[in-house]
């Protein structure tokens, strides 16, 4: 049995009895120009019969044991990942095509081979299925696009004076973790308030050990300055203990004790101490009031509600920890239009809690498919009992209703935004004379300073807005063109479109653009047209957008092949849409360039020498004072540096004195 508390990806071998790749039939011959992968839109009798034959040949070898199956396309990409109590009984259903919906018929028609993984139990199969869906992103599964970990508050436990800080990722550092919080902003606000309430330090251990006088945090009454002895270790420990009690949900005890101390100080005419205690009480009140809905009858729980309309779903998640609401987040899982909310919610839960902290109680708006199995799987993953509950009445139901209202409103906003985006794309097609409404618009820009740290950037927009997961950056490889906007654009477009023609020439994977939008004028447009011609691409429209005179927004000029430059009316919403796309590409390019420039500032020529790591680099710089002095040093001087032996010294000397 696998340990549900460990990372699932490291446990796959432990949970399998048998793994095999089944390819009983050779891929069929492909007609000229069709490509190896059959399009999901081309559902023909021949393709369907071939897919059924592939699956039937696999069924003949399957055991009646639990496991996970994968349908694979001709290029090896995953079409669908499913789990079963009995693999043989489950997979055979795909051979009975008359009973399948059109979505699954298309999937069967595309199936070229299958992969089978058997497991000890159905629970293990469910965990493995969720892990594979997140990893492989099969196009016919419900997909949760959520690659971010939730932020937590960490009170460190490896230092005499504990530090309060924001934390993401693995919990490798000793200490107490509180969360999850829905956003980094919520964590930051809470930490500031907790510093005011408990005067805890947030500086790193290195800064703490090097302080000789109190910092600004002490001056603005957010820290007790333990670094310079303004508070004893025992007194600081008492503040840390109060913070732990407050974050664990015992906020009323902490607040009542502070109120009692404030009244006692006032009675003894210690008005300055009473004022400090008053400020701490106000800070605690701020934390509580900014956690929106606080409930005494729920300690640690997630409240999850799903709303479905228009063939899509929105899932709202509320996080309650210690009776306080740590925020909410809304998700829009991608799925087929025929899937009901129970099926979507079941898949959502399996993927959502993969690698995340699972609370002991999960309140749901409705029962997902295989409720009991999900509860068992999540309990195994958490290493303790996890209850999935669909409350029907009472205060817990009111929490679910609140989450459901938020899900419904978020879904309405998302549909409205998608509708507005679709209208803008239709207007864009009309203004530029495109035959069809673009589903994928790629916008390109470059950034550099006198040719240094030159980068190209691509952003992508579609019917649902900016597709940030599709953004790409291009480090300019040809140093001869760095600083030449035309040459840089030529390299970026050539690399992007060449790769497109290798990986997705027919657009079946959804990565082929319906419009290229270039930041620039007639010259940049000419470069784009030249690249398209050189690659024999004739079905991708291209346009360029140039800033107006004096770089005035609203006076942009647009350039199209074989058409005179033109402007759009200043009040045209399509113009505003194009300005936003251009500005987003510029922002992304500038941000990437600045990141590379900042990284380069911390590097020296010593980083280019093989075998010189951070320790040797530090030793050289401490001994000589600068990289320039290292370059001027003789062989004997280099060998005298601690940690630098004769061989390494020779390597350093040869780097700075080639041929000599």
**Same domain? 157 vs 178:** yes
CATH number at residue 627: 1.10.150.20
**Same domain? 362 vs 224:** no
pLDDT at 558: 93
pTM over 0.75: no
pLDDT at 357: 82
Query: Within its chain, how far is the Cα of 90 from the centroid?
Result: 33
**Same domain? 455 vs 582:** yes
Domain boundary among 240, 260, 289: 289
**Same domain? 582 vs 465:** yes
Give yes or no for a contact between 280 and 198, defined as CB atoms under 8 angstroms apart.
yes
pLDDT at 532: 93
429 part of a folded domain: no
CATH number at residue 98: 3.40.1440.10
pLDDT at 553: 60
433 part of a folded domain: no
Angle at 18 between CA 13 and CA 22, to 5 degrees: 115
pLDDT at 4: 34
**Same domain? 565 vs 552:** yes
432 part of a folded domain: no
**Same domain? 445 vs 579:** yes
Cα–Cα distance measured from residue 634 to residue 648, given in angstroms and rounded to the nearest whole number: 13
**Same domain? 14 vs 131:** yes
Cα–Cα distance measured from residue 503 to residue 292, given in angstroms and rounded to the nearest whole number: 48
pLDDT at 542: 94
**Same domain? 548 vs 593:** yes
1 part of a folded domain: no
**Same domain? 103 vs 178:** no
CATH number at residue 521: 3.30.420.340
Mean pLDDT by 10 residues, the chain (660 residues): 34 38 35 37 72 90 90 89 91 90 88 90 87 86 73 88 86 83 78 83 87 87 89 89 77 72 79 76 62 58 89 88 78 85 91 85 92 90 90 88 88 80 90 91 85 84 87 84 83 92 82 92 92 91 82 76 88 87 90 74 69 82 80 86 87 76
296 part of a folded domain: no
Domain count, the chain: 5
**Same domain? 94 vs 197:** no
Helix pair angle (341-352, 122-136), 10° resolution: 80
Burial of 445 (0-12, 13-18, 19+ CB in 10 A): buried
Domain boundary among 261, 289, 317: 289
pLDDT at 560: 93
**Same domain? 590 vs 622:** no
**Same domain? 381 vs 503:** no
Q: For residue 399, give its domain range.
A: 301-412
Cα–Cα distance measured from residue 493 to residue 516, given in angstroms and rounded to the nearest whole number: 10
């Amino acid at each position: 049995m696998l340990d549900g508390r460990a990372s699932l990806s490291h446990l796959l071998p432990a949970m399998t009895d048998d793994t095999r790749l089944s390819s009983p039939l050779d891929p069929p011959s492909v007609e000229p120009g069709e490509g190896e992968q059959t399009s999901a839109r081309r559902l023909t009798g021949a393709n369907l019969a071939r897919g059924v034959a592939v699956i039937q040949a696999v069924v003949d070898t399957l055991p009646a044991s639990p496991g996970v199956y994968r349908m694979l396309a001709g290029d090896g990409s995953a079409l669908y990942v499913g789990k079963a109590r009995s693999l043989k009984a489950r997979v055979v259903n795909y051979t009975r095509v008359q009973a399948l919906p059109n979505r699954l018929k298309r999937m069967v028609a595309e199936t070229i081979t299958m992969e089978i993984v058997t497991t000890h139990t159905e629970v293990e199969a469910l965990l493995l299925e969720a892990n594979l869906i997140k990893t492989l992103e099969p196009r016919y599964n419900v997909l949760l696009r959520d690659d971010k970990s939730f932020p937590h508050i960490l009170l460190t436990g490896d230092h005499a004076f504990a530090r309060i800080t924001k934390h993401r990722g693995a919990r490798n550092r000793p200490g107490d973790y509180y969360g999850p919080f829905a956003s980094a902003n919520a964590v930051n606000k809470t930490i500031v308030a907790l510093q005011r309430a408990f005067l805890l330090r947030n500086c790193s251990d290195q800064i703490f050990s090097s302080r000789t006088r109190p910092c600004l945090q002490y001056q603005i009454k957010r820290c007790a300055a333990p670094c310079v002895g303004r508070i004893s270790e025992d007194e600081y420990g008492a503040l840390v203990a109060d913070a732990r009690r407050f974050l664990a949900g015992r906020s009323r005890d902490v607040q009542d004790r502070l109120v009692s101390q404030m009244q006692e100080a006032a009675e003894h005419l210690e008005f300055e101490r009473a004022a400090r205690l008053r400020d701490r009480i106000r800070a605690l009140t701020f934390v509580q009031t900014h956690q929106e809905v606080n409930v005494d009858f729920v300690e640690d729980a997630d409240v999850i509600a799903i709303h479905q309309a228009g063939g899509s779903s929105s899932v709202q998640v509320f996080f309650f920890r210690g009776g306080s609401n740590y925020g909410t987040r809304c998700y829009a899982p991608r799925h087929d239009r025929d899937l009901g909310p129970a099926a979507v919610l079941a898949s959502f839960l399996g993927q959502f809690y993969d690698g995340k902290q699972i609370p002991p109680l999960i309140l749901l708006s409705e029962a997902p498919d295989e409720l009991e199995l999900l509860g068992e799987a999540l309990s195994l993953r958490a290493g303790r009992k996890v209850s999935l509950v669909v409350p029907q009445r009472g205060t817990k139901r009111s929490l679910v209703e609140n989450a459901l209202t938020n899900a419904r409103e978020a879904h309405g906003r998302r549909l409205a935004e998608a509708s507005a985006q679709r209208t803008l794309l239709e207007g864009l097609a009309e203004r530029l004379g495109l035959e069809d409404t673009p589903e994928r618009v790629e916008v390109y820009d470059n950034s550099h300073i006198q040719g240094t740290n030159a980068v190209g950037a691509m952003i992508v927009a579609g019917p649902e807005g900016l597709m940030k997961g599709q953004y790409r950056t291009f480090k300019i490889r040809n140093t001869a063109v760095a600083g030449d906007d035309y040459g840089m654009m030529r390299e970026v477009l050539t690399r992007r479109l060449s790769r497109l023609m290798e990986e997705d020439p027919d657009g079946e994977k959804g990565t082929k653009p319906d419009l290229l939008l270039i930041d620039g004028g007639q010259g940049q447009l000419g470069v784009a047209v030249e690249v398209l011609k050189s690659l024999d691409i004739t079905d991708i429209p291209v346009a360029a957008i140039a800033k107006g005179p004096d770089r005035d927004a609203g006076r942009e000029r647009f350039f199209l092949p074989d058409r005179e430059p033109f402007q759009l009316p200043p009040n045209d919403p399509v113009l505003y849409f194009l300005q936003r796309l251009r500005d987003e590409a510029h922002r992304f390019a500038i941000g990437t360039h600045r990141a590379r420039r900042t990284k380069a500032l911390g590097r020296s020529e010593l980083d280019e020498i093989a075998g010189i790591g951070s320790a040797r680099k530090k030793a050289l710089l401490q001994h000589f004072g600068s990289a320039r002095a290292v370059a001027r040093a003789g062989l004997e001087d280099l060998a005298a540096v601690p940690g630098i032996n004769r061989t390494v010294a020779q390597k350093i000397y040869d780097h700075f004195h080639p041929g000599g």
